[in-house]
Chain A
Amino acid sequence: MYNFKIVTDWFHSLLTGVMPEWLAIGIECLIVLLFIILLYATLAIVLIYMERKVCAFFQCRIGPNRVGKWGLLQVFADVFKMLTKEIIKMRQSDRLLHDLAPYFVLVASFLTFACLPWHEGVQILDFNIGVFFFIAVSGIGVVGILLAGWASRSKYPIIGAMRSGAQLVSYELSIGMTMLTMIILCGTMQLSEIVNQQAELGWNIFRGHIPAVLAFLIYMVAGNAECNRGPFDLPEAESELTAGYHTEYSGMGFGFFYLAEYLNLFICAAMAATIFFGGWAPLHIVGLDGFNAVMDYIPGFVWFFGKTFFIVFLLMWIRWTFPRLRIDQLLSLEWKYLMPISMINIVLMALVVTLGLTL
């Protein structure tokens, strides 16, 4: 596989050749900033369009097809509409916290977004405690959601925020435990290292066989809940709570939460692709050297996005197929089923690894 670090190193030496070190780092940081914002916005547009088309497909409709060819410009029109809507300030609300809440949600989303390994050598935040960092910063989003509901000082948002808080913290446990299971298999928390290993030894889901598949299934359920999407979309159950914690946000204030929700879906899917399906690592079958060589020619970006969008499609499929749960069902699913199962799964994986039963 082609290592992108060559390009970045070359660019760095090019910059330091003509200017002092601090200026070069400043320019690189600026490029990173632009890269994140551009990719974030592009992915949001793609995901929203995809959600509408997939939803329409599952409901036997056509979906957006009026604005632009095949409705391609629909999302742009929506963004423009949101920007030109009046921002209503509530009389009783805590205005400072009300304005602050989107910052928390978006910063948490950006930080988790920056952890993803896009390709070998293309990763913004590559800590040696990568997975742990990912779980830690994704927790900041909960603060933003609770703040949004609380500061609105209206009944629907408060109930929505409370539900959302209970749901997010509960399912975070399962996310943490499934990732823990995979860390036992990999023996490292660094995301780039996890993917490198899979490029050499095969995807984790095959290497870890039974416990890995179990962990993946639990991750899919918990990840779906973590994104606040159906069948776990109680925080914003339209028929009961209007729009949940962002009921009192108008215009772009609502837009931020919407954006973060879609990107969190992508991040959740990308993390699943990275940890279970090898991120940018191509599919290799032991013994078929010709096949492996052909697979190596497909660039890592294509593998990464292919896997991620496949999982995004799965999550959309789940959303538009299952009816919504009740809050007590939701919490008992996590605490009485998923958590005990993932605890047993940790022990199972530890046994498999200690006895050397990995493939």
Chain B
Amino acid sequence: MNFTLLVTVVLTGVAFVALVVFLADLLAPRSYNPQKEEPYECGIPARGNQWGRYHLGYYLFAILFLMFDVETMFLFPWAVIAKSLGTTGLLAVLFFLFILVLGLAYAWRKGALKWD
């Protein structure tokens, strides 16, 4: 039943957007003007390539995120049974976290967290 509901919720989302888009298409007026199709740049004609280069920092943070997100994923199963694992589990996770903190410290030291 849970997975039937999951599919239902996804379909609800899709149906909602599709329905409202359809409704907006029905109600919205249309008028053609070539200037309307220009990308918005505060009124002046657009210059240069819009899909050009941008700051590398975003990639760096995305890669760092990947590392730490996978790490939290590994911690979830431990978290559920942390109480019954007791001290042994705690020590193992402390070691795991220690290695991760080393990774963060390395990235920090190398200046990956600096924005310039």
Contacts and interface: CB of A to CB of B under 8 A. Distances in A.
Given A84-B29, A169-B61, A343-B97, A92 B14 contact: no
Contact of B115 (A33, A152, A159, A331): A331
Interface residues of A, number: 79
Interface in B73-114: 75-76, 79-84, 86-87, 90, 93-94, 97, 100-101, 104, 108, 113-114
A106 B58 contact: no
A152 B40 CA distance: 10
Nearest to A31: B8
A177 interface: yes
Given A180-B79, A354-B82, A242 B16 contact: no
A132 B104 CA distance: 24
Interface in B38-80: 38-42, 46, 50-51, 54-55, 57-58, 61-62, 64-65, 68-69, 72, 75-76, 79-80
Interface string A8-51: 00000000000000000100010011001100100000000000
Contacts of B25: 87
Given A110-B12, A187-B82, A154 B50 contact: yes
Contacts of A84: 24, 27-29
A272 interface: no
A92 B17 contact: no
A184 B79 contact: yes
A76 interface: no
Contact of B9 (A85, A91, A110, A172): A110
Main secondary structure of the interface of B (DSSP, over half): helix
Contacts of A77: none
A332 interface: yes
Question: Is the interface on chain B under 10, 10 to 19, 20 to 34, or 35 or more residues?
Answer: 35 or more
A88 B24 CA distance: 12
B51 A153 contact: yes
Interface in A240-277: 242, 247-248, 251-252, 255-256
Contacts of B11: 33
Given A92-B50, A158-B51, A125 B65 contact: no
Contacts of B61: 166, 169-170, 331, 335
Interface stretch (A212-220, A291-299, A344-352): A344-352
8 contacts: A37-B12, A87-B24, A106-B16, A111-B6, A166-B58, A173-B68, A187-B83, A328-B116
- Nearest 4 CB-CB pairings of A with B: A328-B115, A154-B39, A107-B13, A91-B37
Given A29-B4, A155-B50, 5 more contacts: A86-B30, A88-B37, A153-B51, A180-B79, A354-B87
Interface of A: 25, 29, 32-33, 36-37, 40, 82-93, 99, 102-103, 106-107, 109-111, 114, 124-127, 132, 150, 152-156, 158-159, 162-163, 165-166, 169-170, 172-173, 176-177, 180, 183-184, 187-189, 242, 247-248, 251-252, 255-256, 327-328, 331-332, 335-336, 339-340, 343, 346-347, 350-351, 353-354
